[in-house]
Amino acid sequence: MPETYDLIIRGGTVVNHDGIGRTDVGVRDGRTAFIGDLGQADAGEVIDATGLHVLPGVIDSQVHFREPGAEHKENLEAGMAGAALGGVTAIFEMPNTKPSTTTPEAIQDKLDRAQGRAAVDHAFYVGAAAENTPELAELELLPGVAGVKIFMGASTGNLLVPDDPSVLAVLKSGRRRVAVHCEDEPRMNEREGLRVTGDPSSHPVWRDAESAIRATTRLLALARQAGRRIHVLHVTTAEEMVLLAAHKDIATVEATPQHLTLAGEEAYPALGTLAQMNPPIRDAAHRAGLWRGLAQGVVDVIGSDHAPHTREEKAKPYPASPSGMPGVQTLVPIMLDHVNAGRLSLTRFMDLTSAGPSRVFGMAGKGRLAKGYDADFTLVDLKRTETITHAQMANISGWTPFDGKSVTGWPVMTLVRGHTVMRDGALTGPKIGQPVRFQECL
């Protein structure tokens, strides 16, 4: 009797721990069951992946889906639809919603809201705040929690943790890796007068490189004092890459496709406030420093920092315009375009978007295309050239900073635990996304 599987992906070029090669993948009960020649096997469903590369499911470990409290600009359903359309199989969502995600009730509310509306698997950060610091060690272990998030600068509501004693208290409360937004609030307050009305190119002058470097330097010292692992989000400066390279025993690093792709000299004249985000898009010299850090292995993860605002909000004259831009749906095509341009290898892309998030955050059963792991796959056509447009975007706000950009490399199928959730640019099947599990919380 031939072996029988629920699903066979046949004839694709698999990219995994074993290298890159053409083979088949068999799936049973939502998990990878076999990798190899399945020419004699049967399956309930067969996907012909000839000409495609089969990657471990891409994970976006930083998104802002704005629900609850700002659903006019994004929500969980639309955000996760965009993830699936972009080849992303799991997301970690940030806590700066209204109300902030700082309590067990707020976490459960997000999990409840996602049920039946989520195209992909998901987890939610708990935000560090003065009032919940003593409870963070318990909150970080709740089901569906990706970890704790600290805003050292640039937050809304009650989530700003600007001073060293408060940051240290958070770092001493719990044991999982803490994700941190590093901008120095006192320096930014001092430099607020450098903002020029109507000129978004003054954004990186106000929120300068030194504000990021100071905050990251402070964080590293506090993390050593507390004995806590940290994850520095959306690093934007060449100096931080050098600094963080000296602290890789405790610090992991995220870069974004936006900061790796855009440079202030071109972005602000072309995009205006659509290029405005925190920390800012900086000049080409800093962008080159980020690529050096990526090439040297300092960068562990690529996260999109998907954070939409409506075009009406973005049209307000700077600095009344809000910071943030969409990104979850364009992470894969933008980075595959860099792969095709020779800036990183396909295996490095896989490490940054699958193995990296799994390793950094201790995900259970995800991040590898290997027997026994969840059958999460991103199928891509590396030769396909497409133009990114506003019209393609699933986000409620309906725009992308990469509108009109031609890219080579495109996601064509997204599978979550063996279920096809996107095929050829269309969502398929029911919304089967579930909370992500983490090894330290099992």
Segment 17-40, tens digit of pLDDT: 999 999 999 999 999 999 999 999
Among 184, 305, 374, 376, which one carries the catalytic annotation? 305
What pLDDT is recorded for position 156? 66
Domain ranges within the chain, ordered by starting residue: 4-54+371-431, 58-361
Stated pTM of the model: 0.98
Q: What's the chain's average pLDDT?
A: 97
Domain 4-54+371-431, second-level architecture: Roll (2.30)
Separation between Cα atoms, residue 418 and residue 384, nearest integer Å? 24
For this structure, is 305 an active site residue?
yes
User: Is residue 174 scored above 90 in pLDDT?
Assistant: yes
CATH number of 58-361: 3.20.20.140
Does the pLDDT value for residue 362 go beyond 90?
yes
pLDDT tens digits, one per residue of 292-334: 999 999 999 999 999 999 999 999 999 999 999 999 999 999 9
pLDDT of residue 155: 64
Query: pLDDT digits over 53-85, tens only?
Result: 999 999 999 999 999 999 999 999 999 999 999
Instruction: Determine the average pLDDT of the residues in 40-54.
Output: 98
289: nearest Cα among 243, 239, 331, 326: 239
- Among candidate residues 69, 61, 146, 148, the one with its CA nearest the CA of residue 111: 146
Radius of gyration of the chain (CA): 21
Query: What does the pLDDT read at residue 153?
Result: 86
- Distance between CA atoms of residues 438 and 177, nearest Å: 12
